[in-house]
Structure 1
Amino acid sequence: MKLLLIEDEPKLAEYLRKGLSEEGFSVELALNGIDGLHLATQGQHDLIVLDGMLPGIDGLAVLAALRQSRNTPVLMLTARTQVEDRVRGLQAGADDYVLKPFAFSELLARIQGLLRRAQGARSSGEVTQLRLGELEMDLIRRRAQRAGQRLDLTAKEFNLLSLLLRRQGEVLSRTELAEQVWDMNFDSETNVVEVAIRRLRSKLDQPFERPLLHTVRGMGYVLEDRGA
């Protein structure tokens, strides 16, 4: 497994690089946002560990730029403890967060969890192709298309759509979506689910004549083809 570590604190970066290498990972290191974004977009990595506060380009800007072209899982590191800061990162496409200071064992467990999730279809023999009418998803290549037109999805949008597609026809609540996609307990003051649904709908439905993603008032969301 190849990891990209983008961390501007040299001592911490070297500590993590060494520790992850000892765990069997191939680790590429960048000490600022500019170099990190270049490596992230030009190389092939199984996962990116991204510090939120970086010189040159900060972590959120790196993440936003990366999500324009890549769905690589991203684990963010942050010293900011405010819920709003983490929500902004999740909305921008981060797959998980680790708060500084952290134990290496926790970071390793989070990395392994994200990698298992990304590689689960390969190792478990699960369905790797999902379909609903003209909508198709390839879970291995992490690609989605509708009517032959590729959908440019962030990692979170891809995970959200795949969950809805796996359980097509079933109404999923905001609480369940938050738990399944973001691994977080639902907070009624957090609109991360609504924002993600709105962005997904703009890509999945708005360019086409018939919507697939529907809101069930007071209950949640359902993906289904209701016909012409």
Structure 2
Amino acid sequence: MTRVLVVEDDPQLVRALRINLQARKFDVESATDGRSALRLAATRKPDVILLDLGLPDMDGIEVIKGVRDWSRVPILVLSARHTSEDKIRALDAGADDYVTKPFSMDELLARLRAAVRRQEAAEPSQETVLVTTDGFTVDLVAKRVRRDGRDVRLTPTEWHLLEILITHPGRLISQRQLLLEVWGPTYEDKTNYLRVYMAQLRRKLEADPAHPRYLITEPGMGYRFEG
């Protein structure tokens, strides 16, 4: 049974989420503040977290960062904050999706199921745990990148993009698929996000970012990793 941690201080919304999730055979726990959320995330090991950003004791962004220190559990933000800046902050901190309040329960449940499926699909097989190139190495289990003998620090979004590409070597991954998997359904047309983050990855990993050897653009179509 999929375990869901609901982090929300609105009791009516918590009740609605609990009823809808339990009706679909999810195991539900809840926390009303950030400290309780971090404790439950560490002790109960949920399969997915639904997180409100406006918590009484700390900003939800801090909860995301706290969880990301040790876990890749999918985090879906539920927030009344609707500006692009708020969404980008949450996604850069490590959130997997962002749902603006008020929201459709059916849409939320669909996004939750998609997040769980992506997490299951992203689990590396025993045959593919270390990707080695002439320029850098990627350890998929430790989630660690090294170049020239030194660790390369990637943001959660950069890591997610790189992980998708290197686990499908030689395969063209469409812009739409990358946007859908990394940012969620509401970002399918935000191709500028991809350009920015791919440029950042190339600066960190390619010897000549302007003429990439490994992270290849297929103009108007998508990206591929050439090992």
Over 3 Å counting, the alpha-carbon distance change for 1:174 and 1:116 in structure 2 is: closer
- Residue matched to 1:73: 74
> Which of 137, 141, 146 is the matching residue for 2:140?
137
Residue of structure 2 in register with 1:107 after alignment: 108
Letter matched to residue 187 of structure 1:
K
C-alpha distance in structure 2 between counterparts of 1:128 and 1:116, whole Å: 21
Cα contact 1:135–1:146 (8 A) shared by 2? yes
C-alpha distance after superposition, 1:123-161 (max 9, x if no partner): xxx8872542243424xxxx4345799988765444312
Query: Are residues 20 and 173 of structure 1, via their aligned partners in 2, closer, same or farther at CA, if it must alter by over 3 Å?
Result: closer
Deviation for aligned residue 1:168: 3.4
Distance in 1 (CA, whole Å) between partners of 2:81 and 2:145 is: 39
SS at match of 2:78: strand
Rounded to whole Å, the distance in 1 between the matches of 2:73 and 2:139 is: 20
Note the 1:73-92 alignment, pairs <5 A: 73-92=74-93
Matches within 5 A, 1:28-177: 28-120=29-121, 129-133=128-132, 134-138=137-141, 143-145=142-144, 156-168=157-169, 177=178
Q: CA separation in 1, counterparts of 2:72 and 2:3?
A: 15
Label 1:95 to 1:38 Cα distance change in 2 as closer, same or farther (>3 A).
same
Q: Normalising by the residue count of structure 1, what TM-score does the alignment of the two structures yield?
A: 0.73
Match of 2:196 in 1: 194
In 2 relative to 1, CA 92–11 (structure 1 residues): closer, same or farther, beyond 3 Å? same
Q: CA deviation at 1:174?
A: 6.6
Secondary structure at 2:95 match in 1: coil
Q: Percent identity?
A: 34
Distance 1:222 1:165 in 2: 8
* CA-based RMSD: 3.7
Distance 1:120 1:195, change over 3 A: closer
Following superposition, the deviation at residue 181 of structure 1 comes to 2.2
1:70–1:154: 8 Å Cα contact kept in structure 2?
no
d(CA) in 2 for partners of 1:106, 1:77 = 12
* One-letter code aligned to 1:7: E
Corresponding position of 1:25: 26
Note closer, same or farther for the CA distance 1:169–1:111 as it changes in structure 2 (3 Å cut).
same
The answer on whether the counterparts of 1:71 and 1:155 sit within 8 Å (CA) in structure 2 is no
Question: How far apart are the structure 2 equivalents of 1:154 and 1:43?
Answer: 26
Change (3 A) 1:48 1:106: same
Structure 1 position 185 matched with structure 2 position 188? yes
- The one-letter code of the counterpart of 2:61 is L
Letter in 2 for 1:37: L
Asked if 1 retains the 8 angstrom alpha-carbon contact of 2:76 and 2:112, the reply is yes
Instruction: Compute the displacement of 1:177 (Å).
Output: 3.7
Are the equivalent residues in 1 in contact too, given 2:93–2:156 (CA < 8 A)?
Answer: no
Determine the C-alpha separation between the residues in 1 that align with 2:199 and 2:66: 20
